[in-house]
Chain A
Amino acid sequence: MEFKALMIIALGAIFINNFVFSRFLGICPYIGVSRQLDSAVGMGAAVVFVMTLASAVTWLIYEYLLAPSPANIFFRFFALTEPPDLTFLRTIAFILVIASLVQFVEMVIQKVSPSLYSSLGIYLPLITTNCAILGAAILNIDEQYTFIESVVHGLAAGVGFTLALILMAGIRERLELAEIPRSLQGIPIAFIMAGLMAMAFLGFSGLKLGM
Chain B
Amino acid sequence: MKDIVKLGLTLMVITVLAAAGLAAVYSVTKPRIDAQRQMETERALTVALPQADPESIQAVKDGEEVRYYQLVDDDSQVVAYAFVARGTGYSSVIETMVGVDTSGRVIGMKVLSQTETPGLGTKVEEIRYGETDPWFQRQFIDKPAGDLAVKADGGEIVSITGATISSRALANSVIGGYKKLIKEIQSDSSGLALKSEAQ
Contacts and interface: CB of A to CB of B under 8 A. Distances in A.
Asked whether any CB of A lies within 8 Å of a CB of B in the complex, the reply is yes
Interface of A: 17, 22, 88-89, 92, 96, 143, 205-206, 211
Nearest to A211: B88
Interface of B: 15, 18-19, 22-23, 25-26, 88, 90-91, 93, 165, 168-169, 172
Contacts of A22: 91
- Which of A17, A88, A92, A96 gathers the greatest number of chain B CB atoms within 10 Å? A88
A169 B23 CA distance: 45
B75 to A, nearest CB: 38
A143 B93 contact: yes
B169 A211 contact: yes
12 contacts: A88-B23, A88-B26, A89-B22, A92-B18, A96-B15, A143-B93, A205-B90, A206-B165, A211-B88, A211-B168, A211-B169, A211-B172
A96 B23 CA distance: 18
A206 B163 CA distance: 10
**Secondary structure call for the A interface:** helix
Given A89-B22, A206-B165, 16 more contacts: A17-B91, A22-B91, A88-B22, A88-B23, A88-B25, A88-B26, A89-B19, A92-B15, A92-B18, A92-B19, A143-B93, A205-B90, A205-B165, A211-B88, A211-B168, A211-B169
A115 B69 CA distance: 61
Contacts of A96: 15
Nearest to B164: A206
Contacts of A89: 19, 22
Contacts of B93: 143
A205 B163 CA distance: 10
Nearest to A207: B165
6 smallest beta-carbon distances between A and B, as pairs: A88-B26, A88-B22, A89-B19, A205-B90, A17-B91, A211-B88
Nearest to A23: B91
A138 B182 CA distance: 33
B153 to A, nearest CB: 11
Nearest to A143: B93
Contacts of A205: 90, 165
A22 B26 CA distance: 32
A37 to B, nearest CB: 30
Nearest to A8: B88
A162 to B, nearest CB: 21
A92 B22 CA distance: 10
B169 to A, nearest CB: 7
B49 to A, nearest CB: 27
A92 B20 CA distance: 12
Nearest to A205: B90
A26 B76 CA distance: 56
Nearest to B25: A88
Contacts of A92: 15, 18-19, 22
A56 B15 CA distance: 23
Contacts of B165: 205-206
Contacts of A17: 91
Nearest to A208: B165
